[in-house]
Chain A
Amino acid sequence: MSVNPSWFLILSALLFSIGAFGLLIRRNVLVMFMCVELMLNAANLSFVTFSRMLGDIGGQATVFFVLVVAAAEVVVGLGLVVAIFRRRHHAVVDDLSSMKG
């Protein structure tokens, strides 16, 4: 049984939108990180789908780069959260408002 590849593209667009809306709506920093991951993985799904559709291996190779970058990004992000957590004991973005204007 073969599935029409456009379904995968629709799924990836949905995942990307869920990630983007989640990032804008949710206030917990960790959940926001997860939303970024969701967006990146939605892009990965598109890459693999297009790679199959075009018969080109380049798209699948790109996924590895994106995965590595995502991992590196989270390492730094969690470091920042820990740095803030040490001072405040929770990580909600609404409290991070000492700068305005």
Chain B
Amino acid sequence: MNPITVPSISYFTMAPMLVLFVGSVLLMAAASLLRHRLPEVVSTATSVLLGLGALVVSILQWDHLIRHGSSSTVAGALVLDGFSVFVNITVSCAVILTALVAHDYLARLKFDSAEFHILALLSASGALIMGAANDLVVVFLGLEILSIALYVLVALNRKNEKSAEGALKYFVLGGFSSAVFVYGIALTYGATGSTNLAKMGTYLSANVVHRPGLLLAGIGLLAVGFCFKIAAVPFHMWTPDVYEGAPTPVTGFMAAVAKVGGFVAFLRVFETAFSTQQSTWAPLLYTVALLTTFIGATSAIAQHNVKRMLAYSSINHAGFILLGVVVLTKAGFAGSLYYLFTYSVMAIGTFALLGVLGGARDEDHDLTSYRGLAKRRPGVALSLALLLLAQAGMPFTTGFLAKFGVIEATVAHGEIPLALLAMVSATISAVAYLRVGIVMYATHDVPTPVSDGSSFKDRAEGSLLLEVEPVATTHEVPVAPTTGLAIGICLAVTFYFGIAPGALLDFARQAAQLLR
């Protein structure tokens, strides 16, 4: 018998996920051992500090990566490279922002705030595992840690029936997609003899596969599993319902973290293991990307509920990020990574505003309740308008540069029709964003008094008087300092890196270059 060899483990590579995971377990222990509910301030502060801790470790990892290059650990199952550090930094930022956003929301709706933070931290650690995983089994484990915590997070609002309904839909379709994913792992394992991405890649570049059907079926099933997670058409049906049903800060968190984890794992699996098979799967993903951008954009226009509209817009964004997977070049990776970071920030900011506008019970998300918002709450309306314009791709915001990056990479790869059609879809989706802006700025919440022959001046005065006491004040929720801080950070990042993009663009480019 050979002695069992224990692989060397680099705890430095695993440090960010360990910080979040161990922190969340300790928070859970503290919350369940205490006789009383853990004060909201304590759990929010813990969550923010853990996020900051993970962020600091990730920045140290980046420094190490620049100096010493990428490395793998635990027998090649986890890697420290540009992608993994990029995910670590993005998800840590998302954790901090979400904790700040959720603080006031959880208190307002009287949720158990420790519960939310424990699950969010666990879910984030799953995304980090996906980002660093270099083995399909580890990708699967990360995916499940991410998803199972998210199922519960979506169902967190027990007073709202839609929350449980959304969670169940997410769960059934998520379970289905995981099963498809596992079967995909099994088939590719049978075809290549390994689940390690690097070994699969080496095997496929050195050998002609004698079971091509098995391999292709496996790749297809893996792609289906990923497309479910990133909400690509035709596997997007769950997205609007889940986004609508979930508590609003959870929606923002999900839009950011689940997309980052899913996309980076998608990129890594298809680059490291299946890049030699690109000619077979690229046409399929080409179609999926095209459908995703178009169906996301056109369905977004038809929505009356702002949360559903943003769900479809997130599908449109997923189509853009998918372009980087289709072209599979370094420029495409850089574009996708940049898009993921900037979209995460914009999504968390937008949903934070929606959480405020949703009223005391987080239920008023109909577009009609936004009428005349610019007069009632100019600050909130302006922030929302700016973030939506950034999502639409307005110049001088990161949203513009993100779209520009992926489109540029697509054109450079020679897929000019795809790039053109994607831009057309961006124009269509801009209608959906602008409609919210128009409703906020160009309509009145109070109908003008009946014209009984009084002069225009009188009516204007009448409406001015009416606006002293608007109808909707009873439901209005003030912006709490923590929420305001998070929204401010999101706006600052979106505009600062839109005007002076150098640092963030370089970061994404270097991360794409340093892929192991």
Contact = CB atoms under 8 A, between A and B. Distances in A.
A62 B195 contact: yes
B59 interface: no
Interface stretch (B36-44, B147-155, B460-468): B147-155
A58 B195 contact: yes
Contacts of B186: 12, 43-44, 46-47, 50, 59
Contacts of A33: 175
A20 B305 CA distance: 32
A50 B189 contact: yes
B168 A96 contact: yes
Interface string A54-74: 101011001001100100110
B152 A76 contact: yes
A54 B210 CA distance: 14
A12 to B, nearest CB: 8
B178 interface: yes
B257 interface: no
B308 interface: yes
B239 to A, nearest CB: 11
Interface in B130-166: 137, 140-141, 144, 148, 151-152, 155, 158, 161-162, 164-166
Nearest to B149: A76
A27 to B, nearest CB: 11
Contact of A36 (B137, B175, B308): B175
A99 B162 contact: yes
B21 to A, nearest CB: 15
Contacts of A9: 190
A29 B172 contact: yes
A83 interface: yes
Interface stretch (B66-74, B240-248, B393-401): B240-248
B302 interface: yes
Contacts of A99: 162, 165-166, 240-241, 244-245, 308
> What range describes how many residues of A lie at the interface?
35 or more
B99 to A, nearest CB: 22
A78 to B, nearest CB: 10
Given A65-B140, A73-B148, A50 B168 contact: no
B155 A83 contact: yes
Contact of B171 (A19, A43, A77, A87): A77
A58 B162 CA distance: 42
Contact of B178 (A29, A50, A73, A79): A73
A23 B178 contact: no
A53 B164 contact: no
B353 interface: no
B327 interface: no
B148 A76 contact: yes
Contact of B148 (A65, A72, A98): A72
B193 A54 contact: yes
A80 B141 contact: no
B245 A73 contact: no
A81 interface: yes
A62 B185 contact: yes
Contacts of B180: 20, 39
B167 interface: yes
Given A77-B171, A99-B244, A56 B179 contact: no
A12 B190 CA distance: 13
Interface in B428-468: none
A49 B308 CA distance: 44
Given A58-B194, A101-B302, A83 B172 contact: no
Nearest to A45: B186
Contacts of A79: 152, 155
A38 to B, nearest CB: 9
Contacts of B158: 83
Given A43-B179, A62-B137, A76-B171, A56 B193 contact: yes
B176 A20 contact: yes
Interface in B236-265: 240-241, 244-245
B154 to A, nearest CB: 9
Contacts of A19: 179
Contacts of B161: 87, 98
A46 B94 CA distance: 38
Interface of A: 9, 12, 16, 19-20, 23, 29, 32-33, 36, 39-40, 42-44, 46-47, 49-50, 53-54, 56, 58-59, 62, 65-66, 69, 72-73, 76-77, 79-81, 83-84, 87, 93, 96, 98-99, 101
14 contacts: A29-B172, A36-B178, A43-B179, A43-B182, A54-B190, A58-B194, A59-B186, A72-B148, A76-B148, A76-B171, A77-B175, A80-B171, A84-B168, A101-B302
Given A36-B176, A39-B179, A72-B148, 12 more contacts: A33-B175, A39-B176, A59-B189, A77-B151, A83-B155, A83-B158, A83-B164, A84-B164, A87-B164, A99-B244, A101-B302, A101-B308
Interface of B: 137, 140-141, 144, 148, 151-152, 155, 158, 161-162, 164-169, 171-172, 175-176, 178-180, 182-183, 185-187, 189-190, 193-195, 240-241, 244-245, 302-305, 308
Q: Which 9 A-B pairs have the closest CB atoms?
A: A39-B179, A50-B190, A46-B186, A43-B182, A36-B175, A43-B183, A99-B241, A96-B165, A69-B144
